[in-house]
Amino acid sequence: KGYERVLAQARADALKNLEAEARALGANAIVGVDLDYNTVGPNGSMLMVSVNGSAVIL
């Protein structure tokens, strides 16, 4: 359960950052959101969550 909680928090943080960046660009929506999860570091000891999407005005 601890790993699931960390994963959910990392996902929420990544999406929050994406939303903030889109708003800073003047967008009011994001389309084509893609989340990627990777392990990095020695023995895969760290989790990296990356999120991409297109900021748009609807």
**pLDDT, tens digit, 9 for 90 and up, residues 14-35:** 999 999 999 999 999 999 999 9
Give the total number of structural domains in the chain: 1
| pLDDT at residue 45 greater than cutoff 90 | no
Closest by Cα among 16, 7, 3, 56 to 36: 7
| pLDDT confidence band for 47 (50 / 70 / 90) | confident
Model confidence pTM above 0.85: no
Range of the domain at 49: 2-56
| pLDDT confidence band for 44 (50 / 70 / 90) | confident
pLDDT of amino acid 22: 98
CA atoms within 13 A of residue 18's CA, in its CB half-sphere: 21
One-letter amino acid at 23 equals R
What would the two tokens of residue 57 be?
């005005």
| pLDDT at residue 40 greater than cutoff 90 | no
